[in-house]
Amino acid sequence: MTGLTALNSFFLPLLPLAALPVIFHLFFRLKTTPRVFSTLMFFQRIDPKFNARRRLREWLILALRTLLILFLLLALAHPVWFGVGRQGPVAVALVIDNSGSMSGFGTDGRTKLKQAAAAARELVAQLRDQDSAGIVLLVNDPLVPVPLGLTSDKLALRNALDQLTETEAGGSVAAALERAGALFEKSTASHFEIQVFSDLQSDKWNQPPVNLRAPRTGTSLVVHRLPSPELARVNVAITGVRLSTRVVLSGRKLPVEVQLANSLASEGRVRLNWTTDSGTQGGDEVSVAPNSEKTVTVTLEPPAAGQHWAGFELAGDDFNADNHAFIGFNAQEKQTVNFLGQPADYGLLPLALSPTADGKLSGLLTTFNATPDFSGGFLALTWDAFAANTPALGDGLKQFLEAGGCALIVPPAGAAAGFNPLPDWIAAVPEDFASASNGVALIALDKANPLFNDLRDEKGDVALHNVKAFRYLPLRTATNTTPVLGLENGSALLAEQRVGRGRLFVSGLAFDSGWSTLVLKPAFIAFAQNLALAQTGDGRDATPLVAGEPLRLATPADKNIEVQSLGGSPLDWNGLAAQLPTLPRAGVYVIRSAGGTNRVAVRSSEKEGRQNFVTGDRLPALGTLAYAVNDYHDGPTLASEFHRLEKSLDLSPLLLLLALLALAAEGLLANPPPMRARPAANPQADLKEETSGIR
């Protein structure tokens, strides 16, 4: 910040507006009424320099108007002359950017966050007894004991700075500045400063602000830019973790897709390590092409039913703050499939799901009931069921689906005629029976459907291996249904409909060899089990979050909340819901409140690894605030600058006074008193009588 600095630089680009009076004068001159007159002699006698004086007055008015606008704009720009003026108590808000990008290394081998903490310590050391300071973190970190409000306790300030550790979160510049500005609200200091230490990563600083509140009038805002050397080698980030949409069963393989991204122009060779709550660990070497993404599938196996989590970490990467991700999920011991009716009605489907019916081999437990049992996760029923139980069955099924269950409606294997209509809310409607003695080919109509997950070849195409249908009921589908399996002419034979949180599959094809060759194919077992394990979500029971994202809980602000980490970054926080911090590091956390217990799985923010930094002196994130950007060099330089800033002279009042003077002078010149005639050398007798008749 140089000697003379505008604290509200938004108005500086408006300074050319001061030329408006001149422009108006030149291009929009006041129209004068032309008038022929016999002589100008008397006007010249009033004042021999009548015209010259008038022109001079016009230009003076013009100059005063220009000065008025100029002074006003300058006053609004709030210029402050630092290094001059009185020196009083100073209140300083130290805003430390502790976002993930600051975990990158600076020029001296330390992380940028450590550099920022050291620089802030330098400023704290310069504080005098009457000065006060507060610390504001860009990412609210519950692990750092930040003093509340402003304090003159240098020890407490240094202690907080010493405990700063790198986070993996992004942060909000506007929110941090608002917190910094709030520190000054009740301060009696004569000078206020916000000192920001940041690497000015573009993702945070090159974005226009949202709801940015200006700090107290007269507050100086100085941004110290910590240099960011170019990242030399490898920076691969975990951009997401994805579970399959099948029900997670204990003791069964659980594929987990870890999404990676390499933002550098060189190949990223890293090692993806994972660990689970049960202590299982693993790792794979991964190579990600330059500037590309890659998905790595990791197979987990939850040993028992219950809540589990898994954490993923990239090793061998030069930037650490985007290398972690966690996921939490719930495993069931078995999935119950309730059939309504007799096994013969469902053909080979029960056998494909559970050959021993007890779930030993597949984890699927099949039961057959005479009445609908909505207690399981999956319900299978035939078209015939609706003839006897409608509408009670229809209503019960709908509630089951809306609550998150899945169901399948199939024609009875031995059926040969039409069926009673289905409830109105079922959008897939069967048409007339059709048959083909030589069979018609079945194809996947919705190739991305998870039902086909294990039926794809190396290219990713669904391989049904020449499945043919001999008997079938084509389905007429509506817009809220998705045809999954059908004929080459587009007729759907299996359609999926979302109902509430659940999924309903309507089949026009019985799973019997008399209807199609599908049941004779090995792929049928995978297809059937995918069907029975289908669920709306992906099996997570922990809300996924990116580090730094706000937790959205329905807990009232005055209620207590407890946050504990189950895996990843250790945390044990207890406080009011209103003060609930963001979670700045990857991990699995359990949040307990009066409203219940929630789990969140946090991954690091992949944005923090992006090597884009604001290089100029313009910071869009600060909007119209007045600020100065200094490149941080070393502590002594910072200290001397700080001392200079302690003295300042606010020029706004002076400029406002000048503007008022210009306004007053302009008013006097623009509205002059009536002119008087020049005094006569020899006053003559009054001529009123002479001219009275002419008036």
Partner 1 sequence: MSATYKFLPPELADRLRGLGVSMRRPVEGALQGLHRSPHYGSSVEFADYREYAPGDPPNRIDWAVYARSDRYVIRRYQEETNVRAYILLDTSESMAFRDAGKLSKMDYACYLAASLMFILVSQSDAAGLTLFNDGVQKTLPPVSSMGGLRPMLQALEAAQPTGPSKIEAALHTLAEQVKRRSLIILISDLLQNPADTIRGIQHLQHNKHEVLVLHVLDAAEINLNFGGLNELRELETGARLPVHGDEVRDAYAEEVRKYLEEVRRGCLGSLADYHLVDTRVPVEEMLHAKFGQS
Residues of this chain that bind partner 1 (CB under 8 A): 30, 32-43, 45-46, 50-51, 54, 672, 674-678, 680, 684-685, 687-688, 690-691, 693-695
> Of the two residues 14 and 670, which places its CB atom closer to partner 1 in the complex?
670
* CB burial readout 327-341, b (16+ within 10 A) else e: bbbbbbebbbbbbbb
Given the complex with partner 1, which of 43 and 421 has the nearer CB atom? Answer: 43
Residues near 590 by Cβ (< 8 Å), separated by ≥ 6? 563, 564, 565, 566, 597, 598, 599
Beta carbons of 493 and 472 less than 8 angstroms apart: yes
> CA-CA distances (angstroms) from residue 49 to 45, 54, 59?
9, 8, 15
Q: Show the 3-state SS of 41-86.
A: HHHHHHCCCHHHHHHHHHHHHHHHHHHHHHHHHHHHCCEEEEEEEE
Query: What does the block give as tokens for 669?
Result: 């010149």
Each residue of 132-149: b (16+ CB within 10 Å) or e? Answer: bbbbbbbbbbbbbebeee
Q: Which is nearer to partner 1, 432 or 690 (CB)?
A: 690
Report d(CA 674, CA 18) in Å as an integer. Answer: 30
**At its nearest, how many Å lie between partner 1 and the CB of residue 656?**
31
Burial 579-594 (b: 16+ CB within 10 A, else e): ebbbbbbbbbbbbebe
Regarding beta strands 335-340 and 364-369, do their DSSP bridges make them parallel or antiparallel, or are they unpaired?
parallel
Up-side HSE of residue 433: CA atoms within 13 Å toward CB? 12
- Please, which residue, 36 or 148, has the CB nearer to partner 1? 36
Q: How far is the CB of 63 from partner 1 (least distance, A)?
A: 19
3-state SS, residue 152: coil
User: At closest approach, how far in Å is the CB of 615 from partner 1?
Assistant: 56
Tell me the three state secondary structure of residue 636. Answer: helix
Q: Quick one: 388 or 685, whose CB is closer to partner 1?
A: 685
Q: Please state the length of the chain.
A: 695
- State the pairing for strand pair 335-340/292-300: unpaired
Nearest residue (CB) to partner 1, 55 versus 110: 55
Is the separation of the CB atoms in 655 and 75 below 8 Å? yes
Report the Cα–Cα distance between both ends of the chain, in Å, rounded: 70
Quick one: 43 or 556, whose CB is closer to partner 1?
A: 43
> Between 459 and 676, whose beta carbon lies closer to partner 1?
676
The SS3 assignment for 497 reads strand
Shortest Å distance, C-beta 60 to partner 1: 15
Cα–Cα distance measured from residue 441 to residue 454, given in angstroms and rounded to the nearest whole number: 20
CB of 685 to partner 1, least distance (A): 7
d(CA 119, CA 125): 10
Instruction: Please answer whether residues 352 and 380 qualify as being in contact, where contact means their C-beta atoms are separated by less than 8 angstroms.
Output: no
Closest to partner 1 by CB, 46 vs 660, is: 46
CB of 692 to partner 1, least distance (A): 10
Q: Map residue 527 onto helix, strand or coil.
A: helix
Min separation Cβ 40 and partner 1, Å: 5
Q: How far is the CB of 72 from partner 1 (least distance, A)?
A: 27
Strands 543-546 and 596-603: parallel
Assigned token pair, 209: 């602000």
Nearer to partner 1, 53 or 456 (CB): 53
Q: Transcribe 400-447 into DSSP letters.
A: HHHTT-EEEEE--TT--S--PPPPTT---EE---EEEEEEEEEEESST
Shortest CB 662 distance to partner 1, Å: 22
Residue 11: both structure tokens together: 């108005």
Q: How far is the CB of 22 from partner 1 (least distance, A)?
A: 18
- Residue 46 or 315: the one with the smaller Cβ distance to partner 1 is 46
Name the residue nearer to partner 1 (CB basis): 15 or 46. 46
- Phi and psi for 66 in degrees, rounded to 5? -60, -45
Checking phi first, is residue 386 left (phi over 0); if not, alpha (psi -120 to 50) or beta? alpha
Q: Where are the beta strands (DSSP E) in 580-650?
A: 587-593, 596-603, 628-631, 647-650
Least separation in angstroms between residue 669's CB and partner 1 is 12
In 3D, which of 640, 598, 542 has the Cα closest to residue 327?
A: 542
**Residue closer to partner 1 (CB basis): 279 or 672:** 672
The enclosing H or E element of 113 equals: helix 112-126
Contact in structure between 655 and 27 (CB atoms under 8 Å): no
| Contact yes or no for 307/330 (Cβ under 8 A) | yes
